[in-house]
Each structure stands twice: as structure tokens, then as C-alpha cells.
Amino acid sequence: MNTRQALTGIFATATVIIVGWQVGAVALGQGAASSTSSTATTTSNPASGLKSGTYTGSNEQTQFGDVQVEITVANGTITDVKTVVLTGNEGRSDQINSQAAPILRSEVLSSQSANVASVSGATYTSDAYLTSLQSALDKAKG
């Protein structure tokens, strides 16, 4: 068999596998996020030390805008995270923030802590978000 044809076949196969894997990761990533958040809401955790109520975190400033979150706690579980302040300096930051916030929210709801990885591409926003969240958690433990 011609070497060139064989290698073209291998290259094409490898490309399809890599692209398919990436597309799959995108599809699964969205699926996984929704499934873990639903699990989280059903898991009641009175041992967490969080008192029921609504708590607003600190206002954090970054070079790309301001971030402030508000958490809702019921039966010791974080049931919701709202971003009460999320400003971008310009279109680009708006864009980053609006993509990062839902990802961070679902991560926080599933891990029930501020101990989650920052969203790549939105490191500054993530850090500010999680710092504000931690201060809200501290208040909830009050």
C-alpha cells in the first residue's frame, strides 16, 4: 500500500478522534454540570454549619470589573448563588463574565463551598467571585 495513503488515513482518523473527543467533552460538560447541580440541591446538609437565610458577600474589584454575590442557604445547604454585581469594563469582559458566572454557580452548588477551580479564560472574575462567595459563607456561619 502507498505510504502516503496509509498516513493520510491515520491522520484523518486521529483528527476525527481528537475533534470528536473535544465535541463530546463540550456536550458531556454541559450534561455533567446540570446533573451534579440537581444532585446538590437534593442533598441536605445540616452539618455544614450554615444558617438558613440570604447573605451578601463582599464587593470585589478586578481590573475587568466588579463582582459581588449573594447566597441563599436552606437547611444547611447553599440552594442558590446570585451575582448581584457583575460589571464588565467593556464588551469583552461582559462576555467573559456572563460565561463564567453560570459555570461558577453550578460548581459552587455541587461542591457546596468556595473551594472550586476558577474558570479558565476568566481567572480574575473567578477569583473575585469566589472571594465574595467565601465572605458570604463566613457570614452564614456567623
Strands (E), 8-50: none
Chain positions 10 to 49 lying near another protein, rule: CB under 8 A, are 10-11, 14-15, 18-19, 22-23, 25-26, 29-30
| Residue 116 CA, distance from chain mean position | 8
Report DSSP state, residue 84. Answer: E
91 binds another protein (CB under 8 A): yes
84 binds another protein (CB under 8 A): no
> Taking the alpha carbons of 39, 41, 46, 49 in that order, is the dihedral positive or negative?
positive
Of positions 87, 123, 131, 134, contacts another protein by CB under 8 A: 123
DSSP letter string, 53-82: EEEE---EEETTEEEEEEEEEETTEEEEEE
93 binds another protein (CB under 8 A): yes
Q: Which amino acid is at 17?
A: I
Cβ neighbours, 10 Å, residue 128: 27
Q: Which is nearer to another protein, 35 or 52 (CB)?
A: 35
Chain positions 42 to 81 lying near another protein, rule: CB under 8 A, are 63
Q: Which is nearer to another protein, 22 or 52 (CB)?
A: 22
Residues making contact with another protein (CB under 8 A): 1-4, 7-8, 10-11, 14-15, 18-19, 22-23, 25-26, 29-30, 63, 88-96, 98-100, 103, 119-123
